[in-house]
Amino acid sequence: MAEELAFDYVIVGAGSGGCVMAYRLIRDGRFSVALVERGRMDDNRWIHIPATYFKAHQSQDIDAVLSEPDETLDGKRFAVPQGNVVGGGSSVNAMIYMRGQARDYDEWDDLHGCAGWRYEDVLPVFMRHERNMHLGAPYHGRDGQLVVADPEYKHPINEIMLDAAQSAGLAWSDDFNGEKQEGAGWYQATAHAGRRQSAATCFLKPVIGHEQLTVMTNAVAGKIRFNGRRAEALEVKRDGREYVLRARREIILTAGSFHSPKLLMLSGVGPAAGLDRHGIQTVHDAPEVGANYHDHVGTPVTYKLKNAKGYHNADKGLAAMRHGIAYFLFKRGLLTSNLLAAGACVDTDGDGRPDVQYNFAPFAPGAPGEGPLPTHSLHLHPLTMRPTSRGRLVLASTNPEDHPAFEAQVLRTGEDLDTLRRGIRFAREICEQPPLKEILGDMIWPGPDISVAIGSNNLDDAIRKQARTAYHPAGTCRMGSDRGAVTDVRLKVNGVDGVRVADCSVMPQLVSGNTNAPTMMIADRGADFVLEDA
């Protein structure tokens, strides 16, 4: 017999969006809230030391979703690791604070009918939840919950890479979230005073002891119960026990681009034909639930170093001891770094708008899904900023613990492949600049046997083998004003009552940059809608 509990709001997913939503609803003071999370609390010590997040990636706090064989990658499966812990991606990501371009949000309105989501609408939301330790108005807030800061450790190899980027013609950027995004510079990060500043730390922890908030970790959401078309409860299983969480007002999905659409489909909201195949009664035929899947895709250009040292073996022996002493006694040094501390946003197609983001770092990633290569090295990682390829996810089974099945199709369009070609060529151009050229040893990838010349077929083959996620899946519960949109512009799920989605799955198209800050913005703005409708 399931235990029944009642709340005003039930939030599914304690990631970046869920932590912000819970904070806003609890701080309002009028409502009781249940926050349901399939992962555990963020007690893993490797989460909170900025430079050790790669160790968290080797724990249960990361859960990789694996695509079906992708013919656009020559049949390779596309792996997309996701946070499986309170704080979600903000607890395991590289902490880069990037909002995207103003035009991204204007296009949400102009191209997708998302009125109220223009840059002028969302900038105040970014500013009010931000506590920036170095920048202020007119683009940054100083009094919010989310701590954002400049890097506390700057590796000398990154300094050289940034100098080379300028030698290759890029302007210097003091703020990728300011008046313009283009240029090369140091990223701001959600890390400060030697600690990760996750959504869990900044938003959830201040309210976690509140009597009106119930946080259920290690809890799997089964399905939403509907009375007609009205959502009334969420079925949850935790530690072998079953619960029914009744929602007097709304159920809010903040479970991300895989699990929010999966829960809708398990609950009868999705493509009717797909639901029928699994014996699920259709509550609302919504063909686009699970569609519009897309992600930033990258191909890191890598070199060995000569007469210079990167991060290799920094976590071993005497080097690890020195870094540990610097960190634990003085909160400084390498362990305060988010490792991906520098980068660039570049217009490679000449349309006046950056279309490739580069992450710079003094280590070389291995093949997709593998760790860093065991050598002193560096990489420049070009990423598609506005991918045009689209995939789709569907139910693999009716077991809520199973991942959805998905067709990634990440290089389906020629535009995305061409963007990566241009990104690789410009990365090579940066590497030809002194003094970076003087410290480079053998090229690891693409390698001396791969031509990067225009028309090179073996470059395309190499890209398909090397292509990997930037951990930014989006779009699978697309927001819009048209009949096919999964949610309306106030994030309510179309065709039913009492359900909203407030995470990166509602993005009609990806922003040009990292998705953690925009996800928190979406949830913060979603909280405005929830409270206005209360």
Strands (DSSP E) contained in 228-341 are 230-238, 241-253, 269-270, 284-285, 297-298, 301-305
Residue 330, Cα to own-chain centre: how many angstroms?
A: 31
- How many Å is the maximal CA-CA distance in the chain? 70
Element (H, E) at 153: none
Name the token pair of 260. 């929010």
DSSP labels, 440-474 = EEEEEES-TTS--STT-HHHHHHHHHH-EE-S--B
DSSP labels, 160-179 = HHHHHHHHTTPPB-S-TTSS
In the chain, count H helices and then E strands: 15, 25
Count of C-beta atoms within a 10 Å radius of residue 95: 27
Query: Where in the sequence numbering do the catalytic residues fall?
Result: 472
State the Cα–Cα distance between residues 208 and 532, nearest whole angstrom.
Answer: 23
**Helix locations, 188-237, DSSP H:** 199
Torsion of CA 134, 139, 140, 141, to 10 degrees: 140
